Structures are given as structure tokens and as C-alpha cells.
């Protein structure tokens, strides 16, 4: 069973005694920086020249400096810039500003797991990854609650790395909900697998295949859109609230029977065998290497896929149908 930590297990004064730099002010960065500040932590935000987030951070009362200045001032450096550029930001702004005893923090383990960032031996390497988008992390914190986090230590140079990690998690509200101990390896590999096989890759491929099957059989795209994409939200909301059991309790008996007999024909042994291959490519670093090469190369295939799917009939159909639904925010 997973090890869980709550407020009483974490000592807020540890992080309150440090100087924290949050690099990046996007989804996670803004939530971490604001909640750290509200928890009485000395925090500065590091942003690059011309950053569009800078004004927002300053309006919200935070001091913004360059990433290098932030890293030089601080002894805890949380890197919350996009994953593909973290290695560059680290090399340009962080590396030379690390002293023994400092701590390097991450919200996702990819760059450490695959060795794109190799911190020196004298530095603690820690992770606090909230299991929710930054805006929810911040909103929950403001409401006196928190989003569960997972936390890990890759390198414990000081002997106090995990206590520091829990203290950081407490300052952003994580221990109010519960913090699960993991490793950089487990977090990175499961995160990549989940988003590829199930959440983003699996779900969008399933939706498109279902939609195409109906349209190719002569049904109206508008009807296919409702059945294969729109209604997915209702199902996912029920799973989110009460697992498969609540979803099956809520749908009709006919739908539940179809679920049992047809689901395993769609996601079958061949699908699972492919999932195992996908996982193996995540574990051996093939995926990360390819993705970093694609990024460095200017994203040619990424943009091609984006265009292809942008032109899919399901997208133009949805654009029109969403206009009929005043409560759906299509921005
Ligand atoms: P975002 O894309 O939302 O934000 C990135 C931020 O970094 C922006 O403020 C951007 O500024 C800034 N930035 C870009 N380039 C630089 C640079 N060279 N120097 C300094 N700042 C820069 O990122 P996320 O919050 O989504 O992701 C951050 C980390 O958190 C990642 O490791 C991610 O895996 C992890 N994570 C994200 C979750 C999420 O819900 N989004 C959940 C859990 C973990 P500007 O826009 O002005 O250029
Ligand atoms: Mg991810
Ligand atoms: Mg139906």
C-alpha cells in the first residue's frame, strides 16, 4: 500500500526557513508561488525576458526576476517551465547558481528520470507533483483545502530532503488532502503511460474511431458527435465520482450489459499487448528521446499531427454543435 502523509507529518517551518525560487508562472507555477507566499514562505518568481506571465505575477504581488537571478538568490529552486525546455533553462540559469545544500524541485520527473538534467551530488533533488491542474491547486488552497500530491526524493544530499519535500507540499495545501510517496521513476513512467495509453492518446483514438465508424455507415455526423464525444463527459464524471460502479449504477441496464459484452471486444488482448510495448518504450527511454529530438527539430511531425486532427470532421461538427449549448465554454 502507498505511504500517505498529512499536515501533522509535515513541518511548515522548514520551507519557511528557506528562500524559494519558482521558475515559470503557468498552470503550476502561479499556484505554487502564490500559495507558498500565503504560507509565509520567502518566494520570488523567475521568468525569461518577454514572458507574457510577468505582468500577471507582478499584479498578484510577487517579485519577478530573471531565472538566473531567482536561482542565485534562492536555496530551493522549483522548475515549473514546460518539460521540453527545462534542460535548457537549467543549463543557462540554474546550474551555475547551485550551491551544496540547495534543493532542486520539480513538478514532474521527466528530465531527471531520463538524465536530461544531471544535478551535482551536493544538491537535494525533490518532486512535489499535485494530481490536478494548477488552477484547482490554487483554488483549493484558497478555500482551505488541498489537492493530493505525490512526492519523491531522487537525491538526498542533506539528509533532510524528504522532510523539506513534505514541508513544501504542506505550503501549497497538498498535505491537507494527502501526499503519496513515490519515486521519480514511478511518477514519470506512469504519467507518460497514462496520458498516452488512456487519457489523451487512448481516449481520443477511441472517440475518433467510434465517430468514423458511425459516419462511414451513413449516420449523421452530428448524431455521431453526441454519441461518441459529447456524452463521454457524463460517463467520465460518474467514474470520477464513484468509479466504474457508480457509472454502471447510473446508466441503463442495456448500456451496462453492452459495456460488459462489447468493451472487451474493443479493448482486447491485442490492445493490451500494444500497451505493454508502449510502456516498454517509455521505460527504456525511447519515447523521451524521440520527443526531445522532435522538439529540438522544430516540431515538424507534431505540427503535422495537429493539422491532421484539426481538419477531422469531428472537430468542425463539434464547433457547430457546441454553439447550441450555452453552458459549454468553447474557448
Ligand atoms: P505552463 O506551460 O502552464 O507554464 C510554463 C511557464 O513557464 C509559463 O509561465 C512560461 O511563461 C514560463 N516559461 C517559458 N519559458 C521560460 C523560460 N525560459 N524561463 C522561465 N520561464 C519560462 O506549464 P505547466 O504549469 O503546465 O507545467 C510546469 C511543470 O509542471 C511541468 O513539469 C509539468 O509536467 C508539471 N505539471 C503540470 C501539471 C498541469 O496541470 N499543467 C500537473 C502536474 C505537473 P510565458 O508563458 O510567459 O512564456
Ligand atoms: Mg504528463
Ligand atoms: Mg446513448
Does pLDDT of 329 surpass 90? no
Residue 312 annotated to the active site: no
Helix axes 300-310, 286-296, angle to 10 degrees: 90
Residues 6+ apart with CB under 8 A from 280: none
List all residues whose CB is within 6 A of at least one atom of ligand 1: 23-29, 46-48, 51-53, 67, 80-83, 85, 89, 107-108, 129-130, 133-134
Residue owning the nearest CA to atom 15 of ligand 1: 81
Pairing of strands 42-46, 64-65: parallel
Domains of the chain, each with CATH number or no CATH: 4-182 (3.40.50.720), 192-322 (1.10.1040.10)
Residue owning the nearest CA to atom 36 of ligand 1: 107
Spatial separation of the C-alpha atoms in residues 91 and 16, rounded to whole Å: 27
Q: Three cell numbers at 98?
A: 547551485
pLDDT, tens digit, 9 for 90 and up, residues 22-54: 999 999 999 999 999 999 999 999 999 999 999
Residue of 30, 32, 48, 108 marked catalytic: 108
Q: What is the pLDDT of residue 330?
A: 82
Closest ligand 1 atom to the C-alpha of 134?
Answer: 40
Query: Probe ligand 1: pick from 44, 47, 60, max atoms within 8 Å of CB?
Result: 47
pLDDT, tens digit, 9 for 90 and up, residues 98-129: 999 999 999 999 999 999 999 999 999 999 99
Helix axes 184-193, 269-283, angle to 10 degrees: 140
pLDDT, tens digit, 9 for 90 and up, residues 147-198: 999 999 999 999 999 999 999 999 999 999 999 999 999 999 999 999 999 9
> Does the annotation flag 237 for ligand binding?
no
Spatial separation of the C-alpha atoms in residues 321 and 324, rounded to whole Å: 5
Q: What is the pLDDT of residue 175?
A: 98
Spatial separation of the C-alpha atoms in residues 265 and 210, rounded to whole Å: 13
Closest ligand 1 atom to the C-alpha of 137?
Answer: 40
Spatial separation of the C-alpha atoms in residues 142 and 311, rounded to whole Å: 40
Query: Probe ligand 1: pick from 25, 26, 58, 110, max atoms within 8 Å of CB?
Result: 26
123 burial (CB, 10 Å; 0-12 / 13-18 / 19+) is: buried
**Planar angle of CA 166, 99, 10, nearest 5 degrees:** 10
pLDDT, tens digit, 9 for 90 and up, residues 66-102: 999 999 999 999 999 999 999 999 999 999 999 999 9
ipTM of this complex: 0.97
DSSP lists the bridge partners of residue 179 as 5, 149
Backbone angles phi, psi at 114, to 5 degrees: -100, 10
> Does the annotation flag 27 for ligand binding?
yes
Alpha-helical (H) ranges within 267-327 are 269-283, 286-296, 300-310, 313-322
Q: How far is the CA of 227 from the centre of ligand 3 (A)?
A: 6
Residue owning the nearest CA to atom 40 of ligand 1: 133
Of the candidates 174, 158, 136, the one whose C-alpha atom is nearest the C-alpha of residue 5 is: 174
Spatial separation of the C-alpha atoms in residues 140 and 34, rounded to whole Å: 12
Q: What is the pLDDT of residue 120?
A: 98
Spatial separation of the C-alpha atoms in residues 229 and 72, rounded to whole Å: 48
Question: Is the Cα dihedral 173, 88, 53, 319 positive or negative?
Answer: negative
pTM (predicted TM-score) = 0.95
219: confidence class by pLDDT, cuts 50, 70, 90: very high
Q: What is the pLDDT of residue 1?
A: 84
Residue owning the nearest CA to atom 48 of ligand 1: 51
Does pLDDT of 2 surpass 90? yes
Closest ligand 1 atom to the C-alpha of 29?
Answer: 25
Residue 140: left (phi > 0), alpha (psi -120 to 50), or beta?
alpha
Does pLDDT of 139 surpass 90? yes
When the pLDDT of each residue in the chain is averaged and rounded to a whole number, the result is 97
pLDDT, tens digit, 9 for 90 and up, residues 244-297: 999 999 999 999 999 999 999 999 999 999 999 999 999 999 999 999 999 999
Write down the residue that cell numbers 487512448 correspond to: 202
Query: What integer is the mean pLDDT of 210-231?
Result: 98
Closest ligand 1 atom to the C-alpha of 133?
Answer: 40
Q: Three cell numbers at 192?
A: 507518460
Determine which helix (DSSP H) or strand (DSSP E) holds 264, and give its type and residue range.
helix 253-266
Q: How far is the CA of 142 from the centre of ligand 2 (A)?
A: 25
Q: How far is the CA of 326 from the centre of ligand 2 (A)?
A: 31
Pairing of strands 179-181, 4-5: antiparallel
Residues 6+ apart with CB under 8 A from 143: none
Q: Which ligand is nearest to the CA of 196?
A: 2
Determine which helix (DSSP H) or strand (DSSP E) holds 1, and give its type and residue range.
none
Amino acid at each position: 500500500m502507498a505511504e500517505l502523509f498529512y499536515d501533522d507529518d509535515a513541518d511548515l517551518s522548514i520551507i519557511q526557513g528557506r528562500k524559494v525560487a519558482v521558475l515559470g508562472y503557468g498552470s503550476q507555477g502561479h499556484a505554487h508561488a502564490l500559495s507558498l507566499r500565503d504560507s509565509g514562505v520567502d518566494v520570488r518568481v523567475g521568468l525569461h525576458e518577454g514572458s507574457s506571465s510577468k505582468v500577471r505575477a507582478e499584479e498578484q504581488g510577487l517579485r519577478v526576476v530573471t531565472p538566473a537571478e531567482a536561482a542565485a538568490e534562492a536555496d530551493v529552486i522549483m522548475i515549473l517551465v514546460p518539460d521540453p525546455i527545462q534542460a535548457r533553462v537549467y543549463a543557462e540559469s540554474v546550474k551555475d547558481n547551485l550551491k551544496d545544500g540547495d534543493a532542486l524541485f520539480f513538478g514532474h520527473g521527466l528530465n531527471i528520470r531520463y538524465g536530461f538534467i544531471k544535478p551535482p551530488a551536493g544538491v537535494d533533488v525533490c518532486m512535489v507533483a499535485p494530481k490536478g491542474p494548477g488552477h484547482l491547486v490554487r483554488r483549493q488552497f484558497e478555500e482551505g483545502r488541498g489537492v493530493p500530491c505525490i512526492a519523491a526524493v531522487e537525491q538526498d544530499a542533506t539528509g533532510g530532503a524528504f522532510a523539506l519535500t513534505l514541508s513544501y507540499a504542506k505550503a501549497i495545501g497538498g498535505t491537507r488532502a494527502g501526499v503519496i510517496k513515490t519515486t521519480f521513476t514511478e511518477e514519470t513512467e506512469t504519467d507518460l503511460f497514462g496520458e498516452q495509453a488512456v487519457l489523451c492518446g487512448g481516449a481520443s483514438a477511441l472517440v475518433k474511431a467510434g465517430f468514423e465508424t458511425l459516419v462511414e455507415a451513413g449516420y449523421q455526423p452530428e448524431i455521431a458527435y453526441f454519441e461518441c464525444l459529447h456524452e463521454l463527459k457524463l460517463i467520465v464524471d460518474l467514474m470520477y465520482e464513484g468509479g466504474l460502479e457508480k457509472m454502471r449504477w447510473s446508466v441503463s441496464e442495456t448500456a451496462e450489459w453492452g459495456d460488459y459484452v462489447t468493451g472487451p471486444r474493443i479493448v482486447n488482448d491485442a490492445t493490451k499487448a500494444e500497451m505493454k510495448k508502449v510502456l516498454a518504450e517509455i521505460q527504456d527511454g525511447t519515447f523521451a528521446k524521440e520527443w526531445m529530438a522532435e522538439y529540438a527539430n522544430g516540431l515538424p511531425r507534431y505540427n503535422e499531427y495537429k493539422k491532421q486532427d484539426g481538419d477531422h470532421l469531428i472537430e468542425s461538427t463539434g464547433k457547430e454543435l457546441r454553439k447550441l449549448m450555452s453552458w459549454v465554454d468553447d474557448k
